[in-house]
Structure 1
Amino acid sequence: MSQFIIEAVYFLTALLFIYGLKRMASPVTARSGILIAGIGMVLAVLAAFLYGFDVREAAQEHLTMNVALVLIALGLGLGWAWYSGKKVAMTDMPQMVALYNGMGGGAAAAIAATELFSGNAQSHGVVVSILAVLGGLIGAVALSGSLIAWAKLDGRMNGVIRLPAQQLINLVLFLGSLALGAYIVASGIEGGISFPLIALFFILALILGVLLTTPIGGADMPVVISLYNAFTGLAVAFEGFVLQNPAMIIAGTVVGSAGTLLTLMMAKAMNRPVSNVIFSQFGGDDGSEDGDIEGTMKPADASDAAIAMYYASKVIIVPGYGLAVAQAQHKLYEFVKLLQKQGVDVAFAIHPVAGRMPGHMNVLLAEAGVPYDIIHDLEDINEDFPQADVAIVLGANDVVNPAARHRKSSPIYGMPILNVDMARQAYVVKRGQGKGYSGVENELFFAENTSMVYGDAQKVMVQMIEAVKSLG
């Protein structure tokens, strides 16, 4: 009877995971989707406890100790997650996502290590042993790679670190890990398990994750985070087969497939294959001197930009990471409501890789209460820019650079961009004249119809609000 209950709970868990993920596809229903999937995870944990009490008698002698350890781990994990989730600032959300994703990969690697060191995986046959090795390899890469991504996003590691013969070193590490994994599987069949080799296998996998991520620049971090999310899901699914846990198999498969699709979509949005993100350096020298760009940067006052938008018919706003850094989303929406009260048609334009993680700008605007119906993706709004009286860019850079259309020597060449330069007038809110995260000079800043509003986005928005209110 208990086995029937466990299977029923796992089946319900699967339904909740899938339905929750479906609701996460829309900003309108995303919050409820997260809650539904969370309920599914709670049920999966309860089912795991039921399974623990239902195991054969031979395993009962350590049951009390195991349950106590699990409860302690759950308490520590829940407490830390609750505290950090409440404390984290919106600007720190990308690195928290990277960190949590790394923990998932690390958990899968830990399961693989336990099953391999104990010999349980090998005792269940070749297929289970292979899945344990693959899950351990992928999970370890996701763990160390995600930690490097977190360090880069959190400012603890700056720039890119590229070794001589980097790709050759990575290839040797990858092939070495696979060879060790194959030897571990073969050793299990023959009845002999080499503990030092298993440890070396995981060490090589962790080093591979580090070396895969250190050469990648910050502009590619959204794709990297999504890719490691897919890795984590795949590793969890493999370890679910090893433990014969349906909830892990389903959750891992759903996360892995969703992460893979998102990674491919974001890479497509940048017009770059995923292999180019991983194996090529993005940014740095764009093959041109600043003098090749015609025009000059023209400064403008925040009040002048605000008045121009106040008397416009249509305004398109492009948010970027600078908006998140300044925590200016609430002031921005306050300004938007003033424009709407005047009868101005206001819309937000979101590039797929704006910010530091997938959907970063959508989350930022949702936190400020911006209605979903005025937030549009690139493909839905790009044709509207020529009809816009004013387009304003807040902290974005590479995603609005016209060089992507025509400068073949630029590393962002071919990447779809938001057509800000086609608006009648463009304003760019920027703290200084520096280049973006990719290190590529932005031609938009020098365009005839572009003016630069220098300053922190929070302070600029306050000045714009004051200027508009003075008109009424």
Structure 2
Amino acid sequence: MLGQGFVSAAAIAASVLFVLSLGGLSNQEKAKRAVWYGIVGMAVAVLFTAFGPGIGNYWLMIPMIAIGSVIGWKVAKSVAMTEMPQLVAALHSFVGLAAVFVAWNADLERRRVLAAQALDAGHQEFSAFAALVATKAPDELTFLQLEVVFAIFIGAVTFTGSVIAFGKLAGKVDGKPQKLPGGHLLNAGAAALCLLLAVLYLNGAGFWTLLLLAALSFFIGWHLIMGIGGADMPVVVSMLNSYSGWAAAAIGFTLSNDLLIVTGALVGSSGAILSYIMCKAMNRNFVSVILGGFGGTQGPAAEVEGEQVAIDAAGVASTLNNADSVVIVPGYGMAVAQAQNAVSELVRKLRSAGKEVRFAIHPVAGRLPGHMNVLLAEAKVPYDIVLEMDEINDDFPKTDVTIVIGSNDIVNPAAQDDPNSPIAGMPVLEVWKSSVVFVCKRGQGTGYSGIENPLFYKENTRMFYGDARESIDSLLSLID
């Protein structure tokens, strides 16, 4: 067993590694090394915590760590990049549920200590946590109770919210916004009841208050995320990431674990900052995101007139051969078809022919922040031709050909033209200003978010139907 000095030193080292990991993820070239910083930091944190003072029951803990490690390794090896958003949502739910269980157990231990003290039974058989509780003054125990309440509320909201986000991302739950009659009033009422239960608990009410608090919080998390449309899921995933961090931090205070506090605060603050950045990118109100108050329409959306005009591979290749500048806009459809390598080869051939080729990346392209950047980096697309929306949007009027691969909402002109659209006011890539737009799409459906796109009906747009990878592969032999 290690002394507290070793554990404290390990906590500082792990915290530094976590900070380095977060900092490195801001740069694609340093991201792989940053991930290793995080892996090593977590290994140090788990090892030194497990063998720290007051820790026992290794006969149970070591097998559970081994089982969890094997499951995590197998899941990570089997999950495709297209399923990464669902995996992230699922992992957030685990953190939330763990926070609820730990908080419940902390209160049971508190009650056990108080009962033993009332009977003057001592604390010889107390657990390490119970022994710590036995040393606390009454005001410190009140703070412990506050930490328990906060952990249960945030953890429960995170759990059910993440489960619904997983369902929507995986297509198992309808991506359209859905609310029960009463809408936000139900959420407000449930939150008010949670506050009442917290007051009763702090004034000596039984364990039942924490059970009801969790049940109401589970409902709030479920109803909040059910009310958010599929088009906004990237922001939701980021927001839930922040929630899971704050839940972990609350449990860190409860357990007097400095490393858990630091780690939770890093995750919570970075997730909140990312959510804010994404809200600005989507022209959403940050407070409304936190309250789950966006994603619904304000009225009937405008009718789309015209028809979608299809084109074959020969027609697309002919136009590309005559073009000087090409912009490619990737979306989740490219990830589903695993077309990134075919796209990379197309880019190589076009650049070899002397054409200017660049990528336009919307901040919420795909279903996870940075999703498209990771896929393109995996396919070895040069970093310097991958541009963000603000860097390239003004260049579309000077672009000969834009190829949209599996994107819908991020290239939808209704965001600018239709105030009743679910994505009204969201900044989008103005691809329709290009001379020609080719949309690589499986069929004529509205896609994951269920929002119709007038771009598909414009005169300068041609629909290149089919699986994205097969469609791009069919172009390769036709490019001069």
Q: TM above 0.5, one fold?
A: yes
Please, which of 205, 229, 242 is the counterpart of residue 241 of structure 2?
229
The one-letter code of the counterpart of 1:110 is F
Specify the alignment match of 2:434 in structure 1: 423
The match for 2:160 is: 144
Partner of 2:302: 288
Q: Which residue in the other structure is 2:80 paired with?
A: 89
| AA in 2 matched with 1:246 | D
Q: Aligned to 2:65, which of 44, 56, 74? A: 74
Q: Determine if the alignment matches structure 1 residue 23 to structure 2 residue 24.
A: yes
Superimposed CA distance per residue, residues 40-71 of structure 1 (whole angstroms, 9 cap, x where no aligned partner): 111111221232xx23xxxxxxx54x222221
1:126 aligned partner = 142
Residue 284 of structure 1, CA deviation: 9.6
Q: Identify which of 328, 333, 357 aligns with 1:322.
A: 333
Which consecutive unaligned segments of at least 5 residues does structure 1 have? 56-62, 188-192
Note if contact 1:284-1:439 (Cα within 8 Å) is conserved in structure 2. Answer: no
Shift of 1:229: 0.4
1:381 Cα deviation from its structure 2 partner: 1.3
Query: Partners in 1 of 2:300 and 2:270 — Cα distance?
Result: 33
Q: Secondary structure at the match of 1:300?
A: coil
8 Å CA contact 2:298–2:420 kept in 1: the answer is no
Q: Which residue of 1 aligns with 2:227?
A: 215
User: Which residue of structure 1 aligns with residue 276 of structure 2?
Assistant: 264
Q: Which runs of 5+ in 2 are unaligned?
A: 111-129
How far, CA to CA, are the matches of 1:35 and 1:465 in structure 2? 36
Aligned-partner SS, 2:451? coil
Mapped pair 1:117 → 2:108: yes
Corresponding position of 1:190: none
Matching residue of 1:42: 43
Cα deviations by residue, 1:326-351 (Å, 9 ceiling, x for unpaired): 11111111111111111211111111
The correspondence for 1:249, drawn from 247, 261, 280, is 261
Residue 407 of structure 2 is matched in structure 1 by 396
CA distance in 2, matches of 1:286, 1:415: 17
Secondary structure at 2:440 match in 1: strand
Structure 1 distance, partners of 2:383, 2:61, is 41
Over the matched positions of the two proteins, sequence identity in percent amounts to 40
Letter in 2 for 1:102: S
Structure-1 separation of matches of 2:171 and 2:448: 13
List aligned pairs for 1:132-211, cutoff 5 A. 132-160=148-176, 161-187=178-204, 194-211=206-223
Distance 1:284 1:361, change over 3 A: farther
The equivalent residue for 2:453 is: 442
Summarize deviations over 1:342-389 as a string: whole Å, max 9, x none: 121111111111111111111222222222222111111112212211
Q: Is the 8 A contact 2:175 2:449 kept in 1?
A: no
Q: Are the structure 2 counterparts of residues 407 and 314 from structure 1 closer, same or farther at C-alpha, using a change threshold of 3 Å?
A: same
- Secondary structure of 1:426's counterpart equals strand
Q: Tell me whether 1:240 sits opposite 2:252 in the alignment.
A: yes
What letter corresponds to residue 266 of structure 1 in structure 2?
Answer: M
User: Which amino acid letter does the alignment assign opposite residue 128 of structure 1?
Assistant: L
Q: 1:108 aligns with which of 73, 91, 99?
A: 99
Indicate if the aligned counterparts of 2:301 and 2:418 stay in contact, CA closer than 8 A. Answer: no
Q: In 2, distance between residues paired with 1:284 and 1:159?
A: 17
Of 277-286 and 425-434, more deviation after overlay is shown by 277-286
Coordinate RMSD, CA, aligned? 1.9
| Cα distance in 2, alignment partners of residues 182 and 360 from structure 1 | 43
Residue pair 1:285, 1:439 contacting (<8 A) in 2 also: no
Structure 1 residue corresponding to 2:372, chosen from 361, 378, 398: 361
**How much does 1:23 deviate?**
0.3
SS of alignment partner, residue 208 of structure 2: helix
> Are 2:468 and 1:467 equivalent residues in the alignment?
no
Change (3 A) 1:38 1:107: same
- The 1-side partners of 2:10 and 2:417 are apart by 56
Q: What's the TM-score once normalised by structure 1's chain length?
A: 0.91
The 3-state SS of whatever aligns with 1:411 is: coil
SS at match of 1:164: coil
| 2:279 is the alignment partner of 1:279 | no
Aligned to 2:362: 351
Q: Which amino acid aligns with 2:163?
A: L
- Matched-pair contact (CA < 8 Å) for 2:441–2:466: yes
Secondary structure of 2:329 counterpart: strand
**Residues 1:313 and 2:324 aligned together:** yes
CA distance in 1 between partners of 2:105 and 2:293 (Å):
32
Q: Which amino acid aligns with 1:152?
A: K
SS at match of 2:423: coil
Q: 1:77, 1:140 → 2: CA distance?
A: 22
How many Å apart are 1:84 and its aligned residue?
0.7
Residues 283/316 of structure 1: CA separation in 2 closer, same or farther (3 Å cut)? farther
After superposition, the Cα gap between the structure-2 partners of 1:425 and 1:450, relative to the gap in structure 1 and judged at 3 Å, is: same
What is the distance in 2 between the residues matched to 1:438 and 1:326?
A: 18
Equivalent-residue separation in structure 2 for 1:367 and 1:284 (angstroms): 40
**Is contact 2:411-2:430 (8 Å) kept?**
yes
Measure, in 2, the Cα distance between the counterparts of 1:460 and 1:437: 20
CA distance in 2, matches of 1:215, 1:270: 17
Quote how far apart the aligned CAs of 1:98 are.
0.5
Shift of 1:288: 1.6
Query: Is the Cα contact below 8 Å between 1:180 and 1:197 reproduced in 2?
Result: yes
**SS of residue paired to 1:92:** helix
AA partner of residue 153 (structure 1) = L
